[in-house]
Structure formats: C-alpha cells, structure tokens
Structure 1
C-alpha cells in the first residue's frame, strides 16, 4: 500500500468515529506500527487536517476538513447505487428525487470505467409493501429538522382515533412500515406511530423542552431496558384453561416477521400464559441452542413443559388438544373437516401460494402429478368452495382450523397472492378483527419495532 493511500485510509478511519480513538487502535486497524501511525497523523495535520489529540490520549478529526477522497472503490460505488435505489423506492417524493440527483452528481465525476458500475443493474431493489399515506412524509421530516412539536390525528390498530401532541425524534423506513418515533404528551411516554395511520397532522410553533439528541438518548435507553430476547407476555383472559397443562411452562419461539404470527394468534385464542423468545434470522435462529429445539433453524416453535412442537399447523393442533377448555377443536367424532382443512391449508395452500408468488406453477399434467397440491388454480378453487357461504371452515364454531386457514387467506389477500374473490373476502372479514388476532398482531408489531430500532 502506498503512503498516499495509507494516509487516505487513516483519514477515513477518523471520519468514521465521533469520539477520540487511541493511536494503538488506529495502528492495529491500519496494519502499521505505532511509530508510523504517529508520523502519519503528523503528516495529515501538516496538510491541514484538524486532528485533535496526542499520543497516549487519543485522536479525533474535527468537522470541516475537505480533503477530497482519492476515488470510490467498486464496492463503495455499488453500496451507494444500491442505497440510492432503495431511497428512490421506499421514501417520499422529495427524498426520492434527491437520491436521483445525488447519483447524477456522483456519476458526473467518476471515470468512465467506474461510471458503468454505478449504472449497472446487477443489484436491484424490489417493490415494498406500499400503504396509502394521508400525511406527506416531507412534513414529518420538516418537524424533525425544525425540532418542533407535532399535532396528529392517529388511528390505532383497532380503529380508535385519538388526538396527540408528540415531540418527534426519529423516522424509520422499514420494509413493511414507516414509523415515527416521539414522546407522546397524551401517554406521557415514548411511542411508535405507523405513518399510514396518521390521518392528519400539522407542525406547532412550540418546541419540545429538550433537544432532539437528548430525547433520542432517552428513547434508546428505554429500548435497551425493554427489548430483551425473552419477553414474558401474559394477559387476563375471559376464558383461562385450567388443569395440568397450565402447570407446564409454555415458551413461544418466533420472529415477528414470520409464520410465527399464525402460532401467536393461536396462543392468544388459547388464553394460557406464555413467554416469547425472539429469534433473529441467520444468527440466534441458527444457534446450537435453538437447533436443538428445531433442527431446521426456523420459527415458529413451542416448548410446553418437556414437549417441543414445530410447524405452525402442528402447533395449532397441539394447542387445541393441550388446552381443551379453550374449545378450539371439535369433538373427536366430528373432526373430519377440521383435520381436512387445517392440513389442506398447510400441505396444499401454502406451497401453492409460495410457488405462485415466486412466479412458478406446475404447468403440465405430468408436472402437476409430481406435486401434492396439483396446481395453484385447483387449490384456490377448492379453498374457495370450502369457505363459500360459511362463517367457519369446520363446523358451526371457531376452531384451530380457522386460525390456519384464516391466516393463509388473510396473507394471500394482503399481498395479492390470491384473487379477491367474494368467498375469501367474506370469510376473512369474520376473522381479521377477532380480539385474539388483534392482540397477537399488536404484540408482534411491538416486537418488530423493538427489533428494528435495536439494530438501527
């Protein structure tokens, strides 16, 4: 590595840090001796870089030094291009246009061979889940920049509307939601507000009593104390099962953005107390401790005493039997339709929808014969007939089969994986507002928010 390149890399190391860093740490990262590091610091200072500090104390680069970078690497160009594409697809119009302008400016100063990397379409950003926004995100961002109080009309997940005054501190852009974080004067606590549920808003002249940076520190501290990997969750239910099953510890392993929502809904229908252990994709979900629970390294799973159950349909069936007082399974002699549609949804509906969503369906009779579900069209037609004119799929009362079938239909309608047939919409309208499902959804949303902000 040339000395010029080494000095540039050292400058980048200092730019990445907001607090003083020791010379020893910089030397280790740069792969040079401490003596060489001191000489390089002195050389940068001679060029005009305002580096404060001294040997044995630490160094920090003061803002304002404008030594231009030598050039972007290919990876840096790809990172910039991909990030800008994400902003274009996932944010408001003003930020989207700004991202496009920034890419154009970067492209104008790049050599021709690197400009092609910036314009390469090898890395793509897919469409997100778009929700209608009643309030422009530019207004929310302006309230953040100006550090002013923000008055909103908010509709929660149950449809209740409240008028709030909040002190906005952050705006998060996630795959499935955009979330405004702020101190709520009504609740006297930090709250997360889905922006698609803000129905009206305006900026007030008044400022919060504390600066935004101070509020961010306070909010992050609440996230650290509340966001634990194992969360005990209990509630008072109107119908609590009793007996030996209640004496066993019930642990629910999930990720809030997964099929775990099916088991979560079922647990709420059962009404028994349980604890939640959130597993992250690629890390704790693949850790040896969890692989001992589910060798597939997937969620959901439950542990009830010494019994471990995986697979969402199996969890629904198990919980219905383990807590018979909840009344979520028919009498044994009347379980034909119950078993049929519970496992039809797991064995046919889900794989058919998954393949169809990926753009592939068994096209020929020979290919359809090799798949248990036959064809996507046949599965959807059978499912429509199963729920047509019926409030419940397996009799005259709600059962665990409705949890699974309802989850599949609700997911399919929400993401456009199945057609909005009248039979599906009528059946789902009787499922989506069940109190247990709303409780599970609200808790999963809180877990997802904590998980996302903890990683931010």
Structure 2
C-alpha cells in the first residue's frame, strides 16, 4: 500500500469514530509501526486535518476537514449497492426513489470497472414481510425531521383503538415491521408504535418541549441498562423453591424474536433466578462456544448446572420436573394427557403451522408419509381438545398450557391457525397470566434496546 493510500485510510478510520482512538489501535488497523503512525498523523496535521490528541492519549478528527477519499473500494461499492437495494424495497416510496437516484448519481461518476460492481446483481435483497400501512411513512419521517408533535390514531394487538399525541424520536425499519418510537402523552412514557397499526396521523404545529436529540438520549436511557450478552433476572419466587435444583446456576439462551419467548414465559412461571444470554442470528448463534451448547446453532436452550437442554417442548418439560414446587406438571401417575398434548403440539401442531405458513400441505397421497397427516386434521383435533377446557391437561395450569397456548396464540396472531371460537376462548384464559406478561415485557424491552442500538 502506498503512503498516500495509507494516509487516507487513517483519515477514514478517524472519521468512523466519535471518540478518541489510541495510536496503537490506529497503527494496528493501518498495518504499520506505532512510530510510523505518529509520523503519518503529523503529516495529516500539516496538510490541514484537524486531528486533536497526542501520543499516549488518543486521536480524534474534528469536523470540517473536507479532503475526499481517493476512491471507493470494491467492498464499499458492494455495501452501497446492497444498502440501496434494501432501502428501495423496505422503505416508503420517497426513500425508495431517493435510493435509486443516489445509485444513478454514483454510477455516473465511477470508473467503468467500479460502475460494473455497483450494477452487479450478484448480491440480492429478498422479499420482506410486508404489511399494509394506512399512513405514509414519509409523513412520519417529516414529523421526525421537523421535530413536531404527531397526533395518531392507534389500534393495539387486541384491537383497542386510542387517540394519542406522540413526540417522535426515531423510526425503525426492521425486516418484519416498521416501528415509530416516541414519548406518548397518553401514557406519560416512551412507547413503540407499529406503523401498520397507525390508522391515521397528523403533524401538529406544536414542537415537543425538548429537542429530539435530548429526547433520544432519554429514550435510550429508558431501555434496559444491563449488558447485552447477559441479563440477570432476580425476581423472588412466589413459592420459594429450595434444594439442589435451586443451587444450580440456570442460564437461558435466547433471542427476543424467537421461540425463546415460550421458555421465557415458562421461566417466569417457575419463579426462580435465572440469567439470559442473547444470541444473534448468523453470528453468535453459530459461534463454536454456542454450538457446544446446541449443535443446531439455534435458540432457545438452557443450561442448568451441568445439564444442557435444547428444544422448546423438552425445556418446558425439564423445568417443570426440575422445579416441582412451581406445580407445572401433574403427578407422575396422571401425566398421560400432559405428555400427549405437550408433544402433540411439538410434533404435529408446529409442523402443520409451519407448512401452512409456507403455503404447502401434504396431498392426500402423501399424508401417510407425514407424522401429522394434514393441517386440517391437526387443527380439528386441537380444536376439539381445547373446546370448553380452561387447561389442556386437567384442572390445573401446566407446562403443556405454556407450550400449546403459545402455539395457538402465535397462530391466531399471524393467521396460521384458523380463528375458531375454541382457540380464542382457550387463549383468552392464558394470554394475560402475570408470568407471560412479565416475560413479554422483558423480551420486548430487550428487543427494542438491541434493535435500536446504534451500530
């Protein structure tokens, strides 16, 4: 690498950072000795770069130095092209057009070889999970940009409609939804509003009482303050569990946007201390240390002392047995229905729901080759089972209700289970259990903090 390129790389490294960075780190990134790095910093300062700091303290580039980089690298071109494709498919029409225009402008000034990389179709953005929006996202973005209050009509997941005044803080573009974060005057707290549930919106002339940057800082502080990788839950048990099971450390591996919510609910039901390790899709879930826990590289999983359990239904059954004080499993002689429906949900209901969501069901000729037969058969059996029952395995709530209820609740919410009265009645008796609400609130708060955290 020439010295000129190296100097520009050092500038780029400083541009990427908001806080002072040590000379040792810059030298390591540039692939030079610390002594050479010091000479390069001095050369850049002589050229007019406002680099503040000194050896042993760290360096920071002040705004205003406009010397442009030599040229984009191939990786930078690929990143820009892929990002533009994502924006063009995942945002509102105005941003989509802007992304395409930006690519066209870049293409006009790039050398021919890099222009080919920009227009290469090797990196694709697949279709997302699109929901219809009643309000143009452009309006929400304008409220953010102009720092104006927003009057919205909002319908929550239960169908209840409210009128609110919101002080917008941020707008998140996620794979499955778009979310507006802001201070809600109705609730006197920060809240997150799914854009597809905003049925009407109007920008008001009034500005929030504080600048958006200030609100943004307050909103971030309102999120969970524990470390990302490990969150400890120390809620005392309602019935103190004692003995050897309590003495073992209980670790819960999950991602807040996963089937881990079922286990999270179960953990809150048993009411014992546990810690949470959040695993990210495609990265920490596939890391060697986690593959030693679950070779499939997926969540949820638990580690209780030296015992590792994976698979959601198995975890629920294990926790019910390991903490009998919680009363989440019938007596051993009375577990026929309990085991039957717990593993019917794992072996038949989930498979039938998943295939239904993918738009596929075994043909009559193929049904004998599949354990669940057909979606219709599974749904009919499940509906007859929960009809006029408060709990699925007897007179008491058990781990089977956690698992079966979660399957039904998820299916009703995402239209992969028919909205039959039997299902709605059964789920209505479970969805507001305090343990489930606690687990949902913790998972939602964790998901919000991680999703909104700056890169």
TM-score range, shorter chain: 0.7 to 0.9
Deviation at 1:435? 0.9
Distance change (3 Å), C-alpha of 1:74 and 1:306:
closer
Q: Distance in 1 between matches of 2:119 and 2:422?
A: 47
Aligned to 1:382: 377
Q: Scaled by the length of structure 2, what TM-score is found?
A: 0.77
Question: Are the counterparts in 2 of residues 107 and 118 from structure 1 also a CA contact under 8 Å?
Answer: yes
Aligned to 2:66: 65
Distance change (3 Å), C-alpha of 1:271 and 1:193:
farther
Aligned to 1:125: 125
1:427 aligns with 2:428: no
The unaligned stretches of length 5 or more in structure 2 are none
The unaligned stretches of length 5 or more in structure 1 are none
Q: Distance in 1 between matches of 2:223 and 2:241?
A: 37
Deviations 1:262-292 (A, max 9, x none): 2223345x3635434132234388575x777
Question: Are the counterparts in 2 of residues 353 and 376 from structure 1 also a CA contact under 8 Å?
Answer: no
Aligned to 2:93: 93
Distance change (3 Å), C-alpha of 1:235 and 1:256:
farther
Q: Distance in 2 between matches of 1:267 and 1:205?
A: 47
1:265-414 → structure 2 map (5 Å cutoff): 265-268=265-268, 270=269, 272-281=271-280, 282-283=283-284, 286=287, 288=289, 298-302=298-302, 309-321=309-321, 329=329, 335-350=335-350, 374-375=369-370, 378-389=373-384, 390-391=386-387, 392=389, 394=392, 399-411=398-410
Secondary structure class of the residue paired with 2:427: coil
Q: Distance in 1 between matches of 2:340 and 2:177?
A: 35
Distance change (3 Å), C-alpha of 1:134 and 1:241:
farther
Count the aligned residue pairs: 441
Question: Are the counterparts in 2 of residues 255 and 300 from structure 1 also a CA contact under 8 Å?
Answer: yes
Secondary structure class of the residue paired with 2:5: helix
Distance change (3 Å), C-alpha of 1:18 and 1:337:
closer
Question: Are the counterparts in 2 of residues 90 and 128 from structure 1 also a CA contact under 8 Å?
Answer: yes
Question: Are the counterparts in 2 of residues 144 and 170 from structure 1 also a CA contact under 8 Å?
Answer: yes
Question: Are the counterparts in 2 of residues 260 and 299 from structure 1 also a CA contact under 8 Å?
Answer: yes
Q: Distance in 1 between matches of 2:139 and 2:75?
A: 34
1:447 aligns with 2:442: no
Deviations 1:149-184 (A, max 9, x none): 333444455555555444322222222333333344
Secondary structure class of the residue paired with 2:369: coil
Q: Distance in 1 between matches of 2:419 and 2:160?
A: 27
Aligned to 1:178: 178
Deviation at 1:325? 7.5
Question: Are the counterparts in 1 of residues 348 and 372 from structure 2 also a CA contact under 8 Å?
Answer: no
Deviation at 1:146? 1.6
The list of structure 1 runs, each at least 4 consecutive aligned residues, that deviate by more than 6 angstroms after superposition, is 290-293, 304-307, 323-327, 355-365
Q: Scaled by the length of structure 1, what TM-score is found?
A: 0.77
- RMSD over equivalenced CA pairs, Å: 4.3
